[in-house]
């Protein structure tokens, strides 16, 4: 049997924010554990994998293709989650994920997660609320960055 996810690390992540330790234990039982070396790709932009990734150790770079070249748009820290849109919508990836140094991630597949619906609907509800919060936080961050860039370009807002 493979390595098991540490339920306490799930509890301190953005995904497990609302979960009790007992609920984190249940979630840990259906999560996978993967280790990546520096520069190794987890998924590629436009890929059809729907895995949700919880970074527990190291760093991940989020890359987006611009003019045929992958550019780092964000660097993830432990406790952050990637792949929420592909996980929920089951649509192709919008970014590439690459390990920056050694990295350990917990993985969650949609089918495994949905297996909790009958027996553990409260966990599903709390995780989905967590995914919404994560997505909302990402959107707020992107809007702030856009506003700062606009202020810089237009020389407004006092910071240029």
pLDDT value, residue 77: 95
The CATH superfamily holding the domain 7-154 is Jelly Rolls (2.60.120.10)
pTM reported for the whole predicted model? 0.84
Q: How many CB atoms lie within 10 A of CB 156?
A: 10
Report residue 156: phi and psi, to 5°: -125, 170
DSSP class of residue 106 equals: E
pLDDT, one tens digit per residue, over 19-71 is: 999 999 999 999 999 999 999 999 998 888 999 999 999 999 999 988 888 89
Q: What is the mean pLDDT of residues 109-123?
A: 95
pLDDT, one tens digit per residue, over 67-113 is: 888 899 899 999 999 998 889 999 888 899 999 999 999 999 999 99
Asked if 62 and 75 touch (Cβ cutoff 8 Å), the reply is yes
pLDDT value, residue 153: 75
Q: Domain boundaries in the chain?
A: 7-154
User: Cα–Cα distance between 154 and 148 in angstroms, integer?
Assistant: 10
Split at pLDDT 50, 70, 90, the class of 160 is low
């Amino acid at each position: 049997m493979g390595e098991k996810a540490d339920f306490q690390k799930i509890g301190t992540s953005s995904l497990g924010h609302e979960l009790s330790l007992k609920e984190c234990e249940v979630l840990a039982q259906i999560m996978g554990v993967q280790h990546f070396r520096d520069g190794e790709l987890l998924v590629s932009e436009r890929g059809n994998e729907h895995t949700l990734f919880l970074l527990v150790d190291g760093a991940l770079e989020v890359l987006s293709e611009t003019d045929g070249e992958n550019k780092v748009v964000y660097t993830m820290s432990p406790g952050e989650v990637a792949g929420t849109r592909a996980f929920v919508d089951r649509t192709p990836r919008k970014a590439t994920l690459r390990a920056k140094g050694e990295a350990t991630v917990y993985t969650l597949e949609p089918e495994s997660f949905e297996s909790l619906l009958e027996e553990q609907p409260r966990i599903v509800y709390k995780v989905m609320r967590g995914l919404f919060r994560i997505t909302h936080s990402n959107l707020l961050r992107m809007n702030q960055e856009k506003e700062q860039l606009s202020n810089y370009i237009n020389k407004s807002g006092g910071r240029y």
